[in-house]
Chains A and B, each alone.
Chain A
């Protein structure tokens, strides 16, 4: 019957399978609670308005384009708000619907090719992550309340007659200028493709939440702040606060990914045969996570092997080439250990409070971006925590941010 159904449906031109509402579809999903082992499962995509184009009430999948980086720079010139940039970009970069291929077997849809399986799985996890941010993180920002486009494949390219794609595989990203998620092709990675990895999707979704609350709640001032933060052409004087804020952003993304996936090493399933110490940096139970501190990364006194994996010396975080993910791990590890390495404690006592800090962080950055350091973030967070959560966090801040500790009266 599973073979005959699609054939009979086609021959008799019957409407086969639902196209709106709740859609059962076969996806790639974890088969354990810690999301370390994966298999094929039937899941339900909810609130679909057009399944044949993977368009729903919260997520709209579109075919990505190869676009030169320079077009983004041009689009943001002489603009004073995110809205005006997006209006310009959407006219230039209107995306086409996707055309996934599924077959209905009478009970659920099965993907007819890898791309369709990839998209259906990603769509499902975007929905679950959005629910997580609404229900558990208690986010009330537009990040969880307005639809967002997921751009499938496509890449940034070089300028010129032959547009060479750069970084177009084995990755995933949130693109704040367009306010879209980018889903890249599978290249030579192993394991679970990145956009089928629920932790990765939660990580990217948190970037959107961070961006919306820190920058976009501040109107035009927030746009100018974001331009200063994201520009690579700006003064090197701002390299330090830029790196520290990026590290804060990445630390928040990783801690939310851990909380959603219940896995401190959520990337491992997408890097199963990796023996790269650099890839181990993001594992909050790795040797790097255990030894790295704000201070030994600032003065490069951490073991040489770890130093190399962070692209050398940070020069007190003023080195623009330094890998800020390294400090992001320290920030995430501080919160993870404060929770007692308990995902339920993390979800209940820390994440909703973190979410309430981001708008205040934006205010602090507007007041003084040039002098931003991570203690600013801790000082916003700590008063909002209850005592049971604040005390262990103070203990871990003292352990990992020793030189900043005296600046945090909420702990001292």
Chain B
């Protein structure tokens, strides 16, 4: 959390994250090159580079898409989520390298601009029938790859917090939902690209397993989240305008607890014996505030460490973000929170 934008807020965790990423990436590229040349010694350097960057990008995309549901299902994966944007930028660089190598290797040195040739070299084969007979030819899989690369570029270019503020939470999230569209486009790109020439079963099997794995993870996380969203307040008398949250004993000193009230997730913190209730959605990137702790008297979001005072939800000076807070009452050993927010809040980066 900083008052002035910096390129990257480096800290020890980010350095470890990036070093680990680069180490695995390098090891993966070298391993793939070794296996490729062992199996096919006639492969040229360019071919190995093209294929290795493609495989690395595809694997990295699967990792990126798995982090979200994994961190929901098992909190130990949360550290992978904190700097996921670094993976996204790396993915774009890998994909761009792959595309550039393809353009240079297969479309340079002709009399057609290589950037035009990559989409038109097989234009005469974009047909489904020959002489009235169903004989589908080349599918322009390059276009799908280029579209996916464009989406990845836009995501990488807007990954900084500056863009989250400029675009607003809704537009920024919509833009970054594009990763799913990019994944679909890449499936088409791979399916109608390399799978057309490589007939070994390992290719579709590995691709299919990756797809099944991601789908399974997202389904499992969705089921878990749906079960949480469906929790309702326990029936019973209470003060009007208040909703039952949870037993007071469930809120530990210095720790956050998440309760669901009328479909909304509320973060509860006990600080110096007093229970405070705030929105569970961090003003930064929507992180689950209630899964954080009280540090130096401030609620601390577990994702990126944004701070809020528990009494009023305000960030400590010089920061200006405000987290919506709710009035709380302890009745019969249970915590009840006000149905409406107590303070007007300034829309920041996230509702």
Q: Do A and B come together as binding partners?
A: no
